Amino acid sequence: MLGNPRFLFLDEPASGVDPSGVLAFRDILSDLKQRGVTIVLNSHQLDQLERVCDRVAYIEAGAIRHIENLRSAEIGRRVLLVRWLVTEATPPADGVSAITTGVGATALEVAPGRGRLAVVDDTQAAALLRALSEGGYPVVEAAPESGRLERLFRKEEPS
């Protein structure tokens, strides 16, 4: 990465790296992307690809089978799967959309006790989770949506 490259080719760069190293590596990739470096990354760690890549090409038998644009589906946003505790005191689920909009996020799907919510970044995700909890929706779980790329290995048609 010396000499400010315009292109960077990486083969399984996070393979065997501990969790703190993976986080540091993601920060490095993010910085490089912001500086305009084109990064070509080969990896079998689909969850990591979903977190750092804008586009993914699935190659089978030496041919590109499909190109997946990971950022266009949610207009550059990341999707969180959020679950909250439902009790007699929990407000109706339709109030989640207003809270989500209030922090600049987007409610994609909302049902009692759960939702698919789109955020721009980790800061907005933290603000959203705090606002939900303060709004009467005690969050018990929040995780990034994953698995979009798995269907390519299952021979499913891309959506």
Task: Write down the domain spans for the chain.
Answer: 7-71, 78-144
Strand-strand pairing, 7-11 and 38-42: parallel
Separation in Å, CA 11 to CA 39, 44, 45: 11, 10, 11
58-95, pLDDT tens digit by residue?
Answer: 888 899 888 877 765 444 567 888 999 999 989 999 99
What mean pLDDT value characterizes the chain? Answer: 86
CATH architecture of 78-144: 2-Layer Sandwich (3.30)
Q: Is the pLDDT of residue 97 over 50?
A: yes
- Quick one: pLDDT at residue 36? 92
**Taking the model in full, what pTM does it have?**
0.55
Alpha helices in 35-149 (DSSP H): 46-52, 95-102, 122-134
- Express as a percent the part of the chain with pLDDT over 70: 88
CA angle 76/30/42 to nearest 5° reads: 90
Mean pLDDT of 92-113: 94
Contact between 41 and 30 under an 8 Å Cβ cutoff? The reply is no
- Quick one: pLDDT at residue 72? 53
CATH topology for 7-71 is: Rossmann fold (3.40.50)
DSSP-derived secondary structure letter, 140 = E
